[in-house]
Chains A and B, each alone.
Chain A
Amino acid sequence: MSAIEETKSDVAVRQPPAAATAERSSPSFLTQVLNLLSSVRFGVVLLVLLAVACMIGMLVVQQNVLPDFERYYAELTPAQKKVYGALGLFDIYHVWYFNALLLLLSLNIVLASIDRFPGAWTYISRKKLDASPKWLKGQEQSATFVVAGGGRAEAAEKIADAFRAERLKPTVTEKGGKTFVFGERGAWNRLGAYAVHVALLTIFFGGFMTAQFGRNGNMPLEPGASASQIREQVINVDQFTVRTHHLDFEVVCTDIQQVLMRKDGAITSDNTLDWRTGIKIKDPEYGEHEAVVSLNNPYDWRGYRFFQASFTPEGKARQVTLRATPAAGGEPQDVTIRRDGSATLADGTRIDLNDFQSNFSLGRTQPQDEDESVVYRNPAAVLAVTPPGGQPSKAFAFTPEMAERAPFAKQPVAGYTYRLVDFEKAPRAHILAVQKDPGATVVYVGFSLLALTLCAVFFFSHERVWAVVEEQKAGEFDDAAGRFDVTLGGNTNRNKLAFGDRFRRLVALASGQPLEVKES
């Protein structure tokens, strides 16, 4: 009920002519549709339908949930596949009827708001300043008491002071020989629900922008490699296609690092603190820029965001420390070589780190198992050793324990034997997720608005209290002069319990004595 409706309910309602009633009873089809679309009940039905659709989406594994979907799909019967597919249940969140539900809900929010906003606005623009004692006694909280001594204005002022003490802004008016004190707080709270709906529409709009103009893809990066396009996997039930998007700049990978919890553990995610990818952006317009992309710490460049997404689970080394021992005798030398880098020994012998194998095996014909690869059972560095003025030769550096078991490791290459003293574990490649999302900012604005408005709506309320001060009629008491009947009543749109407390305090303050308060 709006403030105007409340005022109207105070006066007698005239009966409309019969013809006008008949005319009003048959609204046009368009009006009926608009009434339906703007009704709260229809909104509730839409919310329930949306919830049901979402539940179906949770129970039927969606096609983008890999690899679970593959297993789920394989176990379905042909009939289930056909029916679910026809109903779009494998991708329900993008199917036409789901979008239609969202659209209808948005429309319902807009129309219901248009319908109800004017009524809510009257709480602010046309405040109800007076009320009859009868009406007040029908409110959530009401009380009556008598104030003695002084005039009516003084009595009203005393009540207004009590209102102020309870942080209700008072307005005193006079009408028909009665004085009315109206006090309220938090009138803006009436508009909170509309602000919440504006926030929701903003989020919906941001989501629409993301769906229409957003770009998402992956970019695998190995040190030294570069890329200028992102690959997006498009899934259609059990069919996969790859769509590529060209970037206006080039991304060069300068380094990849996996910070481990336990150095001797595997490069699995449960032993990892962070993944870091060093990149260099080569932009024809804005020049070169270097950056590090780490977990939960993305990098932004020209509307694109780079995130850590995953890694290729193949054990490599970011850097190795080798010990080269001269075959002819002499002091061994330790050198540290970065991935794909090289080092030179004191006599000018150059050592290139060509490869690193985490689970070395002679004569391996098949690629090694992923699980084996990440645990570094038999690590080995594959080297190219070039003596001064000579030709490069292939050599292996094993850990001292492993070298004991491999006779060929004891044979010198280019005058040295090589041992793997230390190495820093790293995977073959990191896979960055690259995103361009013009809708994200809009969604964030919607989120901020929603957070603020929800707090404003649910943690505050619009409280209103009226007091009518009227002189006691002669005859009620022997000496009615200077005695005033006060009727107090009030309501709130939410948090009725706290309002009840406030009202009781208010009555006590205004009357100055314990009183009976009626609570309906």
Chain B
Amino acid sequence: MSEVLKQPVIEAPALKLKSSLASYLPATLAVGGALLLTLWRVRAGGENFASDGGLMLCALAAYLIAAAFYLLNLYAPSSLFERIGLVSATLGVFFNLGSWCVRWIAYRDHDVAIWVREGKPVAEWPWFFRNIPFANLYDLSLAFAFGAGITTLLIAHRKNFRFLAAFSLPLAALILLLARFIGNDIMMLQPVLDSYWRPIHVGIAALSYGTALVCFAVAVVYLLKDGVKVESMAVWASIFALLVIATVSKGTVLGLGTVFWGFDVTAVGSYGSALFLPPRFPLPLRAEIPYVGWVLFASGLLLAGVITLFCLYLFRGDERARRLGHHVLKGALLAQGLAVLMLVSQVKGLENVAVCAQGERPASTACIDTRQYERFGAWIRQQQKQPAEQIAATDPAVLAREGAALARERQGEMFLSLNANPVELAALITAFAGTLFVIIFGFRTERLRESLPSREKIDSLMYKTAGVTFAGLALLLMTGAVWANESWGRYWGWDSKETGAFVAWLTYGAFLHVRVSRGWTGRLAAYFAIVAFLLVIFTYLGVSYLLPGLHSYA
């Protein structure tokens, strides 16, 4: 495909330089503004200033507004929409970085308060960089979203790539939403993390993840431009959403838990939210949130219907199935949205957690599912440092009795919180967002495709972002290895997080090699970029929440 530039411009060198620098103005303003905000925070003190959580929510809103206006601009091009989009994206990055910087000062204030109380002289206070906010997953999420935001702004210096914000910023907003669910409690820094390698290593991680997110967005755009059918995308998005619904709440919604966790069949159609003990001690115990399970179950059925109908269309060319599939897809979106709304409102609204009698459900109460007692009993014994083999050999009825006894004893103290299920909540919202985007793609698809730059240009951008991600992940692995060697005496130990990053790096390596292999370029490369980003997300979240290892703090 070739295109003709109608108005090449001859510019005087000074003018050219000015124009080139001006194109980076949004990124410069966002970063500069955040630094000024930080100085203001230092002068004003914590009590008279917005919290990092508040600023993060501003960033989230700004990202969503920017994405909405850029999306509108794709369908109905307007310089006003584009300007609003750019200003919102700039504000989003400003608030995002500002939130992270303000958190740094909050960490410092927290430590200083302790040292002042302990009477430690200023000369003995540890260095300022000890407080760089890279201590937990919340901090990393803020930096990750910033990495994605700033990459989007830097790419936006090319006017014809500004549209990318419509696809990358909603993902950055999802990362911030996850951060909101994780919670912004300030925790004491683990001593081993008090190393100058931490900001280097984790900083590179955040920026690499951010670039990977943008690369993912570019790959999706490439597939769209390349003519991949929206129905095909809907199938994949529905499979993802179905997997999410099948695995949340230990698999009780669709009955997967009966296979893997030994729950009985009656658990199907229920959704349990994890519980906390004060102040925020997580328990391996869930309380049922009324009706959410059944709405999710219905979503699952609708999504399965979408998959079936669109597969009929894709493999047999059944036009009727295609039309019906789009209606079912909209139904699935509504059901997913309803489930998320019901879940969030009830987790915030239900005041009591209790062990309920059979068939009873008192008002404003989340009932603890009694089928979890055996697992809860085993967990209690683990806390008592009982050997694993001994626990495994214990009669399940005994474990269930012990679990039930403790649940009854502490039921009055247990409480629900959005922070108790951060990954599940974020996954449900991501699945909803995925379905929403597929529906958007299905609206005037050809017009949307025409608004996008040429396939070659998108491909070139995909290669560039993947190359930077590959280099970034390599630096991440190397700095992590050097840090590990300096702190623990081994540069590589196959820890789950380092292996996860290594796997993602290998996949980006495969992407780069696929491009130099004739016949494998184009879509296959885009699929590799998508899989690689999913692996990055698995490394970022899955390892921290699901797998044991040295990186469980973040």
Contact = CB atoms under 8 A, between A and B. Distances in A.
Interface of A: 40-41, 43-44, 47-48, 50-51, 54-55, 57-59, 61-62, 64-65, 67-68, 70-75, 93, 207, 210, 216, 261-263, 269-275, 295-296, 298, 305, 307, 309, 433-435, 437, 440, 443-444, 447, 450-451, 454-455, 457-459, 494-497, 504-505, 507-509, 512-520
Closest 5 CB pairs of A and B: A435-B489, A68-B548, A74-B388, A71-B388, A74-B392
Contacts of A61: 547-548
B78 to A, nearest CB: 25
7 contacts: A72-B388, A74-B389, A262-B118, A269-B192, A298-B486, A307-B488, A458-B468
Contacts of B410: none
B464 A497 contact: yes
Nearest to B478: A447
Contacts of A516: 4-6, 8
Contact of A74 (B391, B457, B502, B520): B391
Scoring B9, B187, B194, B488 by chain A CB atoms within 10 A of each residue's CB, the highest score goes to B488
Contacts of A216: 489-490
B315 interface: no
Contacts of B487: 295-296, 307
B457 A62 contact: no
Interface string B414-432: 0000000000000000000
B191 A273 contact: yes
A65 to B, nearest CB: 5
Contacts of A64: 493-494
A58 B496 contact: yes
Given A48-B507, A58-B496, A296-B195, 20 more contacts: A40-B513, A40-B516, A44-B510, A44-B520, A47-B506, A47-B509, A48-B510, A54-B506, A57-B494, A65-B496, A65-B549, A70-B387, A70-B388, A261-B188, A271-B188, A275-B191, A447-B478, A494-B463, A497-B461, A514-B8
B499 A57 contact: yes
Contacts of A298: 486, 489
Q: Identify the interface centre among A68, A207, A447, A450: most chain B CB within 10 Å of its CB.
A: A447
A280 B485 CA distance: 23
Residue among A210, A497, A512, A514 with most chain B CB within 10 A: A497
A44 B158 CA distance: 33
Given A273-B191, A433-B488, A451-B475, A513 B10 contact: yes
B474 A451 contact: yes
Task: Describe B's contact surface by its main secondary structure.
Answer: helix
A40 B188 contact: no
B9 A514 contact: yes
Contacts of A305: 489
Given A444-B482, A495-B464, A67 B388 contact: yes
B513 A43 contact: yes
Nearest to A73: B388
A41 B520 CA distance: 9
Nearest to A142: B2
A377 to B, nearest CB: 19
B503 A55 contact: yes
Residue from B489, B492, B547 whose CB has the most chain A CB atoms within 10 Å: B489
Contact of A62 (B1, B494, B543): B494
B8 A515 contact: yes
Contact of A272 (B191, B387, B491, B535): B191
Contacts of B16: 505
Contacts of B499: 54, 57-58
Contacts of B500: 58
B382 interface: yes
Contacts of B358: none
A508 B194 CA distance: 55
B482 A51 contact: no
Contact of B388 (A75, A447, A517): A75
Contacts of A509: 10
Most buried by B among A296, A307, A309: A296
Given A61-B548, A508-B9, A93 B494 contact: yes
Contacts of B266: none
B448 interface: no
B36 to A, nearest CB: 30
Given A74-B388, A497-B461, A518-B2, A451 B478 contact: yes
Given A41-B520, A516-B6, A433 B192 contact: no
Given A307-B487, A454-B474, A40 B8 contact: no
A518 B454 CA distance: 14
Interface string B356-374: 0000000000000000000
B7 interface: yes
Contacts of A443: 481, 491
A497 B457 contact: yes
Contact of B460 (A70, A272, A497, A507): A497
Contacts of A75: 388, 392
Contact of A44 (B3, B114, B514, B549): B514
B194 A295 contact: yes
A40 B16 CA distance: 41
Contacts of A459: 471
B8 A508 contact: yes
A296 B192 contact: yes
A350 B503 CA distance: 64
A454 B9 CA distance: 34
A6 to B, nearest CB: 16
A51 B501 CA distance: 10
Nearest to B504: A51
B317 interface: no
Contacts of A433: 488-489
A447 B479 CA distance: 9
A262 B114 contact: yes
B388 to A, nearest CB: 4
B412 interface: no
Nearest to B549: A65
B470 interface: yes
Nearest to A41: B517
B126 interface: yes
A167 to B, nearest CB: 13
B190 interface: yes
Nearest to A304: B489
Nearest to B10: A508
Contacts of B471: 454-455, 457-459
B467 interface: yes
Contacts of A51: 503, 506-507, 510, 535
